[in-house]
Each structure stands twice: as structure tokens, then as C-alpha cells.
Structure 1
Amino acid sequence: MTKVKVCGIRTLEEAEWALDAGADAIGFVFAESKRKIDVETAARISASLPTHLLKIGVFVNETMDRLEEIFHLVDLDYVQLHGDESVRFCHTINLPFIKAIPVKEKEDIAGMEDFGGEMILLDSGKGPHRGGNGTTFNWDYTDSVITPQHLILAGGLNPDNVREAITKVRPYMVDVSSGVETDGRKDRMKIESFIREAKSV
């Protein structure tokens, strides 16, 4: 069964909605974003949640020292690198990490396994922000993907298309943010609907 991550969590209530609906992971955005959360708030939320729920921090071009500091302060399970981090940077990091790859064309996927790590996240490269744009990429690009890492699919997923996405891509995990929001805030009904759809494939 495909795992589900709800990203862009900003309150304990939102985290509990995701948990109660059956999410496997939540994401805290520490990069500049309308969903950015401060470290202290994220740490308080993290401390209130069970250990089986993965806590993933999203960063863009952050320093190694700051990654390690926030990882320990918030008690994260993974750091998600959503910037221009190089293969060399990823190979020197001493934390469990997920490298995010923005996909516009099929060739963007080439060599993604070189980053290492346990998981690779494919997100749409379309839109003004590094993730959370609500845009998809051509899922057919993943047809020939053979990688030792677990694949996380993100980008424009919502309750209406997640079944199709999982059927086509067969990812280890799907990642949703804007697709479970109403007027820029997490929507409990949409979270429940998304996870129900994802888990029914």
C-alpha cells in the first residue's frame, strides 16, 4: 500500500488531522514559503505526535550546520532537500535525507539515483515556487525509472487524481500540500478524502 505524506503542516490540529486520517508522514517547511513554520512551533508539534508518524523537514539550499541543528531540535526523521544541493553535498550529509528533483522534461530525471539517500522525491518543476505549486508533470516520464531509492511522487496531487497517479507511477509514497487546502489552509475533509483515495489503490 502506498504511503502518504501531508506537507506544509503549520499547526498541531493539522498534524492531528493527517494522523487521524492515516497519514504515514508529515512535512514541515523551513524554507521561504507561505507554508513556512518556525522551528519552535515545529518542535512543539513534533513532541506531541507518536513516533511512528514520520516528521520530514523541507529545506532549500540550507547550510549543513543549520540542517543538523533543526533536525535535532525538531526531532525530524528526514531532511528533504528541495534546492540546488549537489550530489557531492548529499554524499557528505550525515542525516537521513530525501533529495527532491524538479521535473519539467524527461531528461530531468536522468542521474537522480546519483544523489544517494533512501528516497528520491519527484516534483513538478512548473510554477514560481520550489514545490507546493499545485502543478503536475508528465507521469509517463517515470516509465523507465529504475533506482535503488524509494520513489516519492509530488506535484499537483489531489483527491481527484491521486488514484491515477499511483496506478501509473507506483510510488513508494505520495506527497500532497496544496491539493488538500482550501483558501491556502489545510482542509480536514480534503486530507481525509486524499488519504482514503490513496490507500484504496
Structure 2
Amino acid sequence: MKVTHVKICSVQEIEHALAAARAGADYVGFNFVPGARRHLPEEKARRMVQAFRQAYPAGGLKLVGIFADQPVEEMNRILEACDLDMAQLSGHEPLEYCQGVARPTIKAVHVDATDDLARLHALLAELEQAGILPLLEPQVAGSYGGTGQMVDWGLARELAASHRFLLAGGLTPENVARAIREVRPWGVDVSSGVETNGVKDLQKIGAFIRQAREAFALTHQREKE
């Protein structure tokens, strides 16, 4: 039984995607947000996906295109042209927009410590009912993730008791196990936490996935006891 879901976000080189796959990641993200520091040109993304499909023809790991407040027609075109499995919406897209996406969808939910818990419960339930996987990340003005800032774990734990989501924000190989023990999310997402000097670090990618899997397995075992 699979008890962990790990996403490595905003890879920019094929070796980073391949390292994530070898280490056992479930999702790898490619960033198509204009102006983002980790933005990936469409043609490069297409070549990377082709190389990845050749290395892993059986599939399994999902390749995710990351977008934010972009025209849905443009996003669907990129998803098709780059042969991506899923979309992640990291902006302020309403549910009606999400339902126009031509691939299974992850939707970022931006939270801060002052957020109303009832509102978040309702929002996550709405996304889940629509078949959309929520991703919980901190609210940071002018940013669409990858900031290294953290979600309030106490708030996230309250939500994890009732909802399935990816936990993002400030996770690293050093703290992901503790985050999993304290929050008990369905999965975890990382970008800056597996970088060195702004570049994905192959050793950190492997360490993050290993720590996450071990923590998820231990947490699952304790829940069964």
C-alpha cells in the first residue's frame, strides 16, 4: 500500500527530473509562470519531457505543468504540446477556471496564520468534490510558491484530519519528517528546500524523498497499531 506522495517542484534540467524519478518521487513539476525565477521555456520543457518518457516509458511518475493566472487556452495548449500529465494552478484561479483545465489538476491554496479555519475547510471540500487535489502553501505577497516560507503546521494538521492535500512551504530534507509526523498530510511538495545556490541539488532531492518515505511509513504503521 502506498503511504506517501512526494512532489519535486520546478525542475529546470532533465537530470533533476530523472533523479527525482530514481529516488521514488510521484510528481515532478515544470514551471511555466512568466517571470518566475524557475520559469522553463516551452521548447526546453518539451525536450525534457521527451527525454523523460524515453527513460521511463512505463510512466508512473506524473509530470506537472505549473501555471498562475494565465489564460486557460494557453495553459491547455502547453499541456498538450509538452505531453504533460497534470496541471498545477498556483494563482488565484476560481473553481470555474479549474474545471476548464484539460488535465487532472492540483490547486494551490494560499494560507496564513490568521486564516479562518471554517473557510479553509469549505474551500478544500469544494476542491475535493470537484476532483481537484489541493496544495497547501503560505500566502506570500507577489509570489507563487518556492519562497522557503512555511505554512502554520498546527493549522495544517487541523485540515489534514479531514482533507487530502499536498503540504508545501519551507520543507527541507532536515524537517520533512517532522512535518509529516506533526501534520500527517497526504503528501508533500518541495522546491527551494532541495536547492543549493538556487539550483536543484541531486543529493538533496534523494535525501528529501528518502526522509519523507520513511516518515510516512512510520506514521502509517503507528496509525495501524
Percent of counterpart pairs with the same letter? Answer: 37
**Is the aligned partner of 1:33 residue 2:36?**
yes
The structural deviation recorded for 1:127 is 5.9
Counterpart AA for 2:83: D
The structural deviation recorded for 1:130 is 1.3
- Alignment match of 1:109 (pick from 120, 125, 139): 120
- State the TM-score, normalizing by the size of structure 1: 0.92
**Is the aligned partner of 1:195 residue 2:174?**
no
- Alignment match of 1:166 (pick from 180, 191, 202): 180
**Is the aligned partner of 1:175 residue 2:189?**
yes
Distance 1:117 1:70 in 2: 21
Q: Which has the higher helix share?
A: 2
- State the TM-score, normalizing by the size of structure 2: 0.83
Q: What's the CA shift string for 1:114-154, capped at 9, x where partnerless?
A: 2333311001113642100001011111233223xx31111
Q: Which has the higher strand share?
A: 1
Q: Which moved more, 1:43-52 or 1:138-147?
A: 138-147
Match of 2:218 in 1: none
Distance 1:119 1:137 in 2: 17
Distance 2:99 2:6 in 1: 26
Structure 2: gaps (5+ residues): 216-225
Match of 2:83 in 1: 75
Match of 1:61 in 2: 69
Q: What's the CA shift string for 1:56-91, capped at 9, x where partnerless?
A: 111000111111101111111111000110122223
Please list, as runs of the form range in 1=range in 2, the aligned pairs for 1:116-127 lying within 5 A after superposition: 116-126=130-140
Q: What's the CA shift string for 1:13-46, capped at 9, x where partnerless?
A: 1111211222111000100311100111111111
Distance 2:92 2:16 in 1: 29
Counterpart AA for 1:111: A
The alignment partner of 1:121 has SS state of strand
The alignment partner of 1:134 has SS state of coil
Total equivalences in the alignment? 199
Structure number, greater radius of gyration: 2
- Alignment match of 1:52 (pick from 52, 60, 63): 60
The structural deviation recorded for 1:169 is 2.0
Runs of 4+ in 1 over 4 A off after TM superposition: none
Superposition RMSD on alpha carbons, in Å? 1.6
Match of 1:93 in 2: 101
